[in-house]
Amino acid sequence: LHDALPILFMAYLAQRLFPGMKVYALDSFEGMPATNPEIDQHTEGNFNDIDLDEIYRRRDELGLSNLEIVKGYFEDTAVNALNDAEKISLAHIDCDIYSAIKYSYDLTKPYMVEGGYIVFDDATEASCPGATEAVEDLLIKRDNLNSEQISPHYVFRAFFNK
């Protein structure tokens, strides 16, 4: 349940402060997909000890009707979730590996509202050099964005020419 606390907290706050706002939690809940050992320290299957039933139970106990839990890898689930959401004001990208950050960021970017926030959970962790590299390559070098915060997480404002 520890790994689910941030999403439960976000949904709790959103439900109370922004009635009608949905929070989408996309995760395989089965651990890491295949990784690139040249830039990623985590390996396939890491973090496979999530108790999804416990997350559902806590969501229901807290009455978080705004929390949509989407089980599956991003490549299989994100398009439908983003199309359902239509607009994203806060994207909390909690990926530890380069490929997952690249996919999530590039796919989410067109759905971001101007001035929305993109938070990268693991890009400042020593155990996630692939995540750091992805943020540097994609947001800083390619998209010329400056972070507004780097600790405890990288935070960027979405200012894109759509």
Dihedral sign for Cα 62, 66, 72, 73, please.
negative
Average pLDDT over residues 118-133: 90
Name residue 157's amino acid: R
Residue 103 has pLDDT above 70, yes or no: yes
Residue 141 has pLDDT above 80, yes or no: yes
Task: Identify the band that residue 29 occupies on the pLDDT scale cut at 50, 70 and 90.
Answer: confident
Task: Identify the band that residue 10 occupies on the pLDDT scale cut at 50, 70 and 90.
Answer: very high
pLDDT number for residue 31: 66
Candidates 154, 107, 112, 118; CA nearest to 133 is 154
**Measured CA angle at 86 (ends 112, 64), to 5 deg:** 100
Distance CA(140)–CA(28), nearest Å, equals 28
Do 115 and 159 meet the contact criterion of CB atoms below 8 Å apart?
yes
pLDDT number for residue 25: 93
Lowest mean pLDDT among 30-44, 76-90, 98-112, 119-133: 30-44
Torsion of CA 91, 129, 76, 120, to 10 degrees: 0
- State pTM to two decimals: 0.83
Task: Identify the band that residue 69 occupies on the pLDDT scale cut at 50, 70 and 90.
Answer: very high
Distance CA(104)–CA(79), nearest Å, equals 10
Task: Identify the band that residue 81 occupies on the pLDDT scale cut at 50, 70 and 90.
Answer: very high
pLDDT, averaged across the chain: 88
What percent of the chain shows pLDDT beyond 70?
A: 90
Name the maximum alpha-carbon separation found in the chain: 44
Residues linked to residue 157 through DSSP beta bridges, in sequence order:
117
Dihedral sign for Cα 132, 137, 139, 141, please.
positive
Position of tokens 């507004």? 148
- More confidently predicted of 80 and 126: 80
Residue 2 has pLDDT above 60, yes or no: no
